[in-house]
Structure 1
């Protein structure tokens, strides 16, 4: 489905991503781990096509289409969606209206299953929202788009275990159980327990230094020794298929 090939990316004149290779098949869940400022979000925004992220070499393919130079709206039409880490507030636009406008088909939500106040859907998008409410808002918007591939950028950030559990239930039932492929970006391990990804990758200083089909291997190394030792781990498994 997604095939990132030898990708090098520059932001504001500085090379951030170096020789990134990443392949995610239909229906797979992959985790991208790394400390702050390691290049995780840069990779997410580059895949989505945000213009300030300049690809200086390499390619991005999605469902056998070269999307390297496609604008963000064309990538969205192909089925790529991104849940931003810090989504902007949109004044004078109710969340319910936004969801109705962007929905590709009639979508219903069981609000009782969500950690929301009764007036949540009638509030302005992300205006005065708590961290957890912003995450819920992002996921609701993504569900309306009916994507084939979703990037979750630090979706677990700022959530307590109860709200994280509820959010993961929505992601599992509405996305993963429907065959949507997921790239989950995080520097915490909580989300890994919920998603149980098919593979995990560790990015340090803009380079993927480790990839494993068993996410527990790199995560246990990180817990034991920290991120700086992950690329040196003798047990690391580099995925080639």
Structure 2
């Protein structure tokens, strides 16, 4: 009888836990987090959390407040983030086009990439300095959040859709808003037809957003363009088509094909 093959999963648990600690620090509203809260959020013992944080501190990736004893992200991450952002193909593909659209519509244009069920804002262009958009460059949002959530989800393969649904966190209409599957399916179908998705005051009252997906050289959705502002429903279709056109241009530069 042949011996049963051992199940090998590549990866390092210690590195995985350190990554979870860093991601947790990024996602917290407060600039620093206590050891106890951090370990509770990540789901590790305090001794393990302390060891991870101490190692990260020796490299300047995490710093500790000498008074509060709380932890926050360190300055060593700044050149890492800058390097990572500089190497993103989507920013080279987009060029100056997002800024032009922002100024033309007097709205804000966001460019974001997707990874691990999150939407990472890698560029932001404000076309109306009189209105401050709370979403910041380098901020991360859930992959299903609002307009970009619908635009991305509408073009994901079934297995990835199911993975997101199974995770139990869906923010198509905001983090605490109920949603109806039939209504969502209708909006996703409309997105696939028109090339963009819309959020007309659903997540934030008085704020309208339209978003279109960006595809890579394998024709897989890899990012999205979001145009957001205080424009009314009467302009949503016009701006939506402009956003979809920009997303198509970026997709072509990324190697996508019809």
Higher strand share: 1
Tell which has more relative contact order, 1 or 2 (C-alpha 8 A, sep 6+).
Answer: 1
Asked if these proteins are the same fold (TM beyond 0.5), I'd say no
TM-score range, shorter chain: under 0.3
TM-score, normalization: structure 2? Answer: 0.26
TM-score, normalization: structure 1? Answer: 0.28
Higher helix share: 2
